[in-house]
Structure 1
Amino acid sequence: MIRRNWLRTQRVLLWICLVVLCTLFSGCSLELVDISTQESKDSSSSSITSQNRLRVIFLDVGQGASQLLISPSGSTMLIDAGNNDREQQMVDYLRQYGVDHLDVILGTHPDADHIGGLDVVIDHYEVGAIYMPKIQANTKTFESLLESIRDKGLKVKTAQAGLQLEWDDQVQVEMIAPVEYSEDSNNMSAVLKVTYGETSFLLTGDAERESEKAMLASGKDLSADVLLVGHHGSKSSTSLTFLQQVAPKFAVIQVGENSYGHPKQEILNRLSKNGTQVYRNDLQGTIEFASDGQHYEITTER
Structure 2
Amino acid sequence: MNPLIIGVGLGIGINYLIKKLRGKKMNFEIDFLPVGNGDTSGDAIAVRYCEDGTNDYKIMVIDGGTKDSGQALVDHIKKYYETDYVDYVVNTHPDQDHASGLSIVMEQLEVGELWIHRPWLYVDEIIHHFKDQRMTEESLERRLKEKFSSSYALEELAEEKGVDIFEPYQGKQIGEFRVMSPSKNWYLHILIPDFNKTPDKKVAVESIFEKALNVIKGVFESLSIETLKEDGETSADNESSVILYTEFNNKGIMFTGDAGIQALNKAIDYYDMNSVVLSDAISEKIGFIQVPHHGSRRNVSPDVLDKLLGNKGQLENKIAFVSAGKDSTVHPRKVVVNAFIRRGCKVCATQKNLIYHYHNMPDRESWSSITPLEFSNEVEGYD
Structure 1 and Structure 2 fold alike (TM over 0.5): yes
Tell me the amino acid that sits aligned with residue 103 of structure 2.
D
Unaligned runs of 5+ in 1: 1-26, 37-50
Unaligned runs of 5+ in 2: 12-24, 51-55, 120-143, 193-235, 273-280, 310-316, 362-366, 372-383
Change (3 A) 1:299 1:116: farther
Match of 1:175 in 2: 179
Deviation at 1:274, TM superposition (A): 1.7
CA contact (8 A) 1:222 1:246 kept: yes
Bigger CA drift: 253-262 or 228-237? 253-262
Tell me the amino acid that sits aligned with residue 63 of structure 2.
D
Change (3 A) 1:188 1:300: farther
Deviation at 1:79, TM superposition (A): 0.8
Match of 1:15 in 2: none
CA contact (8 A) 1:84 1:113 kept: no
Match of 1:69 in 2: 47
The two structures have a TM-score, normalised by structure 2, of 0.59
What does the per-residue CA deviation read over 1:163-211, in whole Å, with 9 as the maximum and x for residues that have no partner?
223x3xxxx4211111322232111111111221223211001101121
Match of 1:42 in 2: none
Match of 2:61 in 1: 78
Match of 2:350 in 1: 281
Name the SS of the counterpart of 2:325 in structure 1.
Answer: coil
Q: Alignment identity in percent?
A: 25
Deviation at 1:99, TM superposition (A): 2.7
Name the SS of the counterpart of 2:83 in structure 1.
Answer: coil
Name the SS of the counterpart of 1:109 in structure 2.
Answer: coil
Match of 1:264 in 2: 333
2:290 to 228, 235, 240: 228
CA contact (8 A) 1:134 1:159 kept: no
Match of 1:244 in 2: 306
**CA distance, structure 2, for counterparts of residue 124 and residue 28 of structure 1:** 23
**CA distance, structure 2, for counterparts of residue 34 and residue 101 of structure 1:** 27
Deviation at 1:107, TM superposition (A): 0.6
Deviation at 1:243, TM superposition (A): 1.6
The count of residues paired between Structure 1 and Structure 2 equals: 252
- Correspondence list, 1:193-232, <5 A: 193-220=245-272, 222-223=282-283, 224-232=286-294
Name the SS of the counterpart of 1:252 in structure 2.
Answer: strand
1:53 to 6, 27, 47: 27
**CA distance, structure 2, for counterparts of residue 119 and residue 230 of structure 1:** 23
What does the per-residue CA deviation read over 1:28-83, in whole Å, with 9 as the maximum and x for residues that have no partner?
665553559xxxxxxxxxxxxxx962111122223211211111221111111112
Match of 2:103 in 1: 119
Change (3 A) 1:52 1:255: same
Match of 1:150 in 2: 159
**CA distance, structure 2, for counterparts of residue 149 and residue 81 of structure 1:** 15
Deviation at 1:100, TM superposition (A): 1.4
**CA distance, structure 2, for counterparts of residue 81 and residue 300 of structure 1:** 24
Match of 1:33 in 2: 8
RMSD over aligned Cα atoms: 2.8
Tell me the amino acid that sits aligned with residue 110 of structure 1.
P
Change (3 A) 1:300 1:161: farther
Match of 2:72 in 1: 89
**CA distance, structure 1, for counterparts of residue 89 and residue 337 of structure 2:** 30
**CA distance, structure 1, for counterparts of residue 354 and residue 369 of structure 2:** 6
Tell me the amino acid that sits aligned with residue 187 of structure 1.
E
**CA distance, structure 2, for counterparts of residue 215 and residue 252 of structure 1:** 19
What does the per-residue CA deviation read over 1:195-245, in whole Å, with 9 as the maximum and x for residues that have no partner?
212232110011011212322333436441111011110112122222222
Tell me the amino acid that sits aligned with residue 241 of structure 2.
S
**CA distance, structure 2, for counterparts of residue 174 and residue 202 of structure 1:** 10
**CA distance, structure 1, for counterparts of residue 7 and residue 75 of structure 2:** 27
The two structures have a TM-score, normalised by structure 1, of 0.74
Tell me the amino acid that sits aligned with residue 175 of structure 1.
V
**CA distance, structure 1, for counterparts of residue 271 and residue 166 of structure 2:** 24
Pairing 1:110–2:110 present: no
Name the SS of the counterpart of 1:262 in structure 2.
Answer: coil
